[in-house]
Amino acid sequence: MVAGLRPSAQTAKMRSHYVLTLLVLVVLLGAAFLLVPPAWLPSQLRPYYYSLFGESAYEEPPASKKIDLGQAEPFCPDEHPEWRKRQVIDGVTVEESLACNPDNPWAVAAFVKGTNNVSMDTLMKAGLAPDAVVIEDDRDGDGDPDVIRIKLEVVELNGHSPDVPEPVPAFFIGPGIQPGFWVFAPKTSGMATKNFESLEANELLRVPSPVIRVEQGDMVQITLENTHYFPHTIHFHGVDHPYSHHESQGNDGVPETSELPVMPGESRTYEFSQFDGPGFHTGHGEVMPGKSRMFEMTPRQPGTFFYHCHVQPQAHIHMGLQGMFIVEENRPNNWVQTLNIGAGHVRHPSIAVHEKYAREYDLHFQEVDSRLNDIIKTTNDPRLIEKAMNRQYNISKRQANYFLLNGRLFPYTFRESLIVVEPDEKVKLRVLCGGEEGLSLHPHGHKVTITHYDGVEHNPLAQITRDVVWLSMAQRVDLELSTVNDGLHSSGEGVWLLHDHKERAFTTDGIHPGGSATAIVYRSYLNDNGWPKTQGVDWAPFFTPQYYRREVPVWATYDETGMLGDPGSRAPRVSRAVLLGFVVGVLLGSLVVLVRSLIKWIRGV
């Protein structure tokens, strides 16, 4: 009988042991809760903590971390100061450029006169192939050539290479920022990089695709030499051209309705002609793959238009295969600048523009969703790129994070795309919105007049003057910027910001300032190297990759006390930390004892 009572006594003893262990655990948990710094607790538990134990005494916050910006880039590298001056090259007047990074004047001269008409010295300094832009034949006898032959290639920038870890050829849109791009580019000679020691793309290979300028009535042949691994076409958006020719060959650049794409290694020539005689219509049906094809179109109207690839346009256009196409008014002795690399300042404006305006600027706005553009940085296998780009990437979920002006982000836009003006003059701005989300263009200190929509002149009696101009995707406007200080058109001299007023477009991947912002700068506010005389904050952080990687507090350069910087680590209280460690150790040990006892009891039962 005594023996029969033994299990009951043993059970009671075990129960007492468990209760005691649980009480110890509860006490230890309470002690740990008391010892844990309130800042470690979830915000929902802090009110209960303070109600039980009261508010803790004030503790001085830790000092702010010291900010290491690293080495900031020079604001203006000033690589070619000799390119800025007004000069005459092979009989072509290249106007002065006040930009920090001016266009190559020898390339400008070659684009005006033709690579077939300039000296070998000019051609070598321009870096162009002899047949890049062939200009000839004054057909209407007005003193300027009327046959223009342009050869464009498809170039990849910041792509994957099996030979080097870095994207090549490198094109930076901002400090440390280089998404992948495809662009149309003029046919070049020599290397794709600046030299043997550099991975950086040469000046002719860049975003955006070049602005093409021709004269009303010219016969223009544009040959697309597909040097790329994907098929492409060119659609001349808004330019007067027939749908097809007498042999039913398509001419609109659309694979689904017009023509087969230009496959890798093939070429196709698009021809614009004001002449309708049968001698200017060439056959197409007999031309085999890999040869040139002639397509005739008639740009009878002047204006600002658009050209882009129409193969998988939801991807190819945003990859960079888009550019401005401008038809200038016909004037005698009107030698136009056939290509404007990188858009921006037109250093040899047409006669019609020069009659009315002091200067002319091409402004090409684009957007980048790096999830799309960076696909080409992951592999050089076209099959994998095709799958990722056309079948896995979903444009309906597109989220642009980079907003470009003439291929750059702020602050690089200030190196190339400043609109330099002087008082009491008129400047012509041609604007293209190449981005999906539209453009809300706002000039500070000025109101601009909209003279043309999509290449069509607006009724002069109904032209609108305003300080916000909205453009949808693919739209163009011609703007007249007057610098007459009358309180309406201009508020006077200064460095006046010009930016997209969609606030996200004023950031670089969400970091302000960034995006496509540039400025209208009066010459009196410009340094000799083309950099504006700004007032306000130090720009050094904006020229570091760290700033746009979110590693630098945005007010770092003028928050002298560090009040708004990143907090440093607080030195822990040694006694509290030791005690907390002891309590946690005992707590864990007790928990182990409890678990082992439970297991032993269960096995005994």
DSSP output for 122-180: HHHHHTB-TTSEEEE--TTSSSS--EEEEEEEEEEESB--SS-SS-BSB--SBTTB---
Output the pLDDT for position 280.
Answer: 36
pLDDT for 385 beyond 60: yes
pLDDT band at 363 (very low <50, low <70, confident <90, very high): very high
pTM metric for this prediction: 0.86
E-strand stretches of 538-604: none
C-alpha 62: how far from chain center:
39
Range from 235-239, 438-442, 506-510 carrying the lowest mean pLDDT: 235-239
Output the pLDDT for position 330.
Answer: 94
The model's pLDDT over 141-174, given as tens digits with 9 standing for 90+, comes to: 999 999 999 999 999 999 999 999 999 999 999 9
- E strand or H helix that includes residue 88: strand 87-89
The radius of gyration of the chain's CA atoms, rounded to the nearest angstrom, is 33
Q: Which residues pair with 323 in a beta bridge?
A: 307
Report which of 109, 113, 118, 115 is spatially closest to residue 128, judged by C-alpha positions.
115
pLDDT band at 272 (very low <50, low <70, confident <90, very high): low
pLDDT for 1 beyond 50: no
Output the pLDDT for position 61.
Answer: 81
Output the pLDDT for position 599.
Answer: 72
Output the pLDDT for position 174.
Answer: 98
pLDDT for 51 beyond 80: no
Q: Which CATH number fits domain 81-405: 3.40.190.10, 3.40.930.10, 2.30.110.10, 2.60.40.420?
A: 2.60.40.420
Q: CA–CA distance from 509 to each of 145, 182, 276, 481 (Å)?
A: 46, 21, 50, 30
pLDDT for 316 beyond 90: yes
pLDDT for 82 beyond 50: yes
pLDDT band at 67 (very low <50, low <70, confident <90, very high): confident
Output the pLDDT for position 290.
Answer: 38
pLDDT for 598 beyond 90: no
Output the pLDDT for position 224.
Answer: 93
- Name the residue ranges covered by the structural domains of the chain: 2-59+570-604, 81-405
pLDDT band at 347 (very low <50, low <70, confident <90, very high): very high
Cβ neighbours, 10 Å, residue 400: 20
Output the pLDDT for position 560.
Answer: 83
Is 200 or 242 the better-scoring residue by pLDDT?
Answer: 200
pLDDT for 284 beyond 80: no
Output the pLDDT for position 571.
Answer: 65
pLDDT band at 286 (very low <50, low <70, confident <90, very high): very low
pLDDT band at 248 (very low <50, low <70, confident <90, very high): low
Asked whether the beta carbons of 355 and 349 are under 8 A apart, the reply is: no
Report which of 113, 183, 562 is spatially closest to residue 336, judged by C-alpha positions.
113
Output the pLDDT for position 282.
Answer: 36
Output the pLDDT for position 412.
Answer: 98
pLDDT for 294 beyond 60: no
Per-residue pLDDT averaged across 513-524, rounded? 98
C-alpha 493: how far from chain center:
29
Range from 11-15, 367-371, 484-488 carrying the lowest mean pLDDT: 11-15
The structure tokens 């009878």 sit at 300
The structure tokens 């910041």 sit at 158
pLDDT for 370 beyond 90: yes
Mean pLDDT of the chain: 88
